Chain A
Amino acid sequence: MNQPDAYLWEQHIPGGCHWSGILRRGTTLRMTDVSGGANASVLFFNQEEKLERYNMADTLKSQHTFRLTKGHACHSDMGRIFCCITADSAGWHDTVCGLSDADLIRRKYGTARYQEHRNQMFRNGLDGMLIELGKWGLGMRDVVSNINFFSKVTANSAGELTFHSGNSKAGDHVDLSFEMDTLVVLSAAPHPLDPSTTYQPGAVNLAAFATPSSAIAECAHISENQRARQNTECLYACHGGAA
């Protein structure tokens, strides 16, 4: 499903950079891994009431899954869903490993400051997130467990984690069809467990388009998602009434 003619807007996010913006209900955000191996760390907030935010635990346990892919919904901490994943060519997205920070990037890759490297400087996931959160009056208190789109991390029977390089190829994309007016905060810095020894975060392309009617029911096979959707509908139908 490629419909470039229907794009409402497009935005290129170079590897390591960050972005935030509002996605309205009824629109779909397509994130594309431009050259392969990208990582898009993302948090969601209810645009009207930013205390309502993405909840990793509710997302995982209500769908009995450790990975996110097509057919899953991204749940808030208030019993609603921000969006459904309606297309996914990468197959696995991590939501338990959090963000890289300045210390981790320095220890792994060394230092590359703006003074010498201009916009090729080394950026980290947490600081990118904090900069974007700051634009909306949010901060460290709002950094909760995030999604790392395009990154695959598995757990063995002892719970030990393995990062899988090459999960996402050039051109792989994931579509998020929004059902709530959502503040999306994004950082394209490397995944904290990426074993690559050189700092080379991949670029992410963002494109928004009207959600096609064929995509609406994509998450409905999970009854928990249906109920979360009813709650989301009620948020708008009842003007913020019962959950």
Chain B
Amino acid sequence: MNANFKNKKSFVESMFDPDAAVVDEICPAGEPWVKIVREGQIFRIVDLEGNQAVDTLFYNASHAVERYSATDTIRRQKKIYLTTGSKLYSNYGNVMLTIVADTCGRHDTLGGACAAESNTVRYALEKFPMHSCRDNFLHALAHEPECQQLGISKRDIPSNINFFMNVPVTEEGGLEFVDGVSAPGKYVEMKAEMDVVVLISNCPQLNNPCNAYNPTPIRLLVWDDPSEMSFT
């Protein structure tokens, strides 16, 4: 494991109390989850049992052509891993969300989402019928009102974030998928800088050792803008 990665600086705990959250939901393994998070709200993803991959996309809630961009996020910060302080940029160069707390330390945005078709390439041609993240995304696009209102289709599915995934890159240009970053209860928390539609596939991948071949549930929480909370 890389030494710098153990840098404690990126481990920042949240000050928010789950009891005060306005959204507190469980997304089972292998299912999609969609929600609008408003500008100023705080959004937390909890890896309940550890080493789960949470494939996540963001869209501008009023203009879906604006969406999360892995390349803008990488090149504007000159960094391939995401953690506390990372800004999540759109394809228009705007900050969509900022990561404000992270007890995992590193999240991936290179590895993309699994798909039935890519499973045939990565594992075996017979894997085609297995459940996948892109199937989850497409299911959500067909059923979730927030997605239907945006008018998005497969055309609007770009490179995503894999929260809790560890995909180290070497200086020589190698890339691997390894486990051991996340653990039960680890979480990542971000502040929305615009109104966004969150589209998640809680990855159902059964062919990859990094989740111990055991996809597990996640917990999703949203808090109202702390600067607008009244204390009367």
Contacts and interface: CB of A to CB of B under 8 A. Distances in A.
Interface string A230-243: 11000000000011
Question: Which range contains the number of A residues in contact with the other chain?
Answer: 35 or more
B157 to A, nearest CB: 8
A79 interface: yes
B72 interface: yes
B122 A141 contact: no
Interface stretch (A19-27, A60-68, A174-182, A199-207): A60-68
A146 B5 contact: no
Contacts of A231: 117, 120-121, 125
Interface stretch (A32-40, A94-102, A210-218): A94-102
Interface residues of B, number: 49
Contacts of B183: none
A58 B158 CA distance: 12
B81 A159 contact: yes
Interface stretch (A1-9, A10-18, A82-90, A150-158): A150-158
A55 interface: yes
B93 A101 contact: yes
A142 B157 CA distance: 9
A219 B14 CA distance: 47
Interface of B: 2-5, 7, 65, 69-72, 74-75, 78-81, 91, 93, 106, 110-113, 115-122, 124-125, 128, 154-156, 158-159, 167-171, 173-177
Q: Which 5 A-B pairs have the closest CB atoms?
A: A57-B112, A98-B71, A79-B117, A67-B173, A157-B2
